[in-house]
Structure 1
Amino acid sequence: MNRIEFIRNEEKKYHDFCYDNYQLFKEGSWLHKPVKTVMDLLPLFSSKKNINVLDLGSGVGRNSIPIAETIKDKNGKVVCVDLLDSALCKLEKYSKIYNVEEVIRLEKADIENFQIQPNEYDIIIAVSTLEHVKSEETFESVVRKMEEGTKRNGINCLIVNSEVEERDLETNKKLDALMELNLSTEVMLNKLGSIYTGWEVLKNMVKPLEYNIIRNERPVLLRTNAITYVLRKNIG
Structure 2
Amino acid sequence: MSRIEFIRKEEKKYHDFCYENYKLFEEGSWLYKPVKTVIELLPILDERTSPKVLDLGSGVGRNSIPIAKEIKNKNGKVICVDLLDSALDKLKLYSKEYEVEEVIETMKADIGHYDIAKNEYDLIVAVSTLEHVESENVFEKVIKKMASGTKNEGINCIIVNSEVEEIDISTNEKLDAMMEVNMKTKDMLSKLRQSYNGWEIVNQLVKPLEYKIVRDERDVLLKTNAITFAVKKK
Q: TM-score, normalised by structure 1?
A: 0.98
Distance 1:33 1:189 in 2: 26
Aligned ranges 1:194-233 → 2 under 5 Å: 194-233=194-233
Determine helix, strand or coil for the equivalent of 1:204: strand
Corresponding residue for 2:90?
A: 90
Shift of 1:45: 2.0
Would you say 1:37 and 2:5 are equivalent positions?
no
Distance 1:91 1:106 in 2: 8
Corresponding residue for 2:54?
A: 54
Equivalent residues of 2:154, 2:232 under 8 A apart: yes
Shift of 1:190: 0.8
Determine helix, strand or coil for the equivalent of 2:37: helix
Unaligned runs of 5+ in 2: none
Corresponding residue for 2:132?
A: 132
Shift of 1:24: 0.2
Distance 1:69 1:131 in 2: 28
Corresponding residue for 1:186?
A: 186
Would you say 1:13 and 2:13 are equivalent positions?
yes
Q: TM-score, normalised by structure 2?
A: 0.99
Distance 1:14 1:136 in 2: 23
Corresponding residue for 1:169?
A: 169
Distance 1:45 1:126 in 2: 17
Shift of 1:211: 1.1
Would you say 1:76 and 2:76 are equivalent positions?
yes
Question: Match for 2:16: what amino acid?
Answer: D
Equivalent residues of 2:45, 2:71 under 8 A apart: no
Question: Which shows bigger deviation, 151-160 or 43-52?
Answer: 43-52
Which structure 1 residue ranges, 4+ long, deviate > 2 Å from structure 2?
none
Shift of 1:43: 1.2
Equivalent residues of 2:58, 2:82 under 8 A apart: yes
Cα deviations across residues 75-131 of structure 1 (Å, max 9, x unaligned)?
000000000000000000000000000000000000011110110000000000000
Cα deviations across residues 175-202 of structure 1 (Å, max 9, x unaligned)?
1111101000011111111110100001
Equivalent residues of 2:121, 2:150 under 8 A apart: yes
Unaligned runs of 5+ in 1: none
Shift of 1:156: 0.2
Question: Match for 2:102: what amino acid?
Answer: E
Distance 1:136 1:21 in 2: 32
Equivalent residues of 2:205, 2:228 under 8 A apart: yes
Identity %: 67
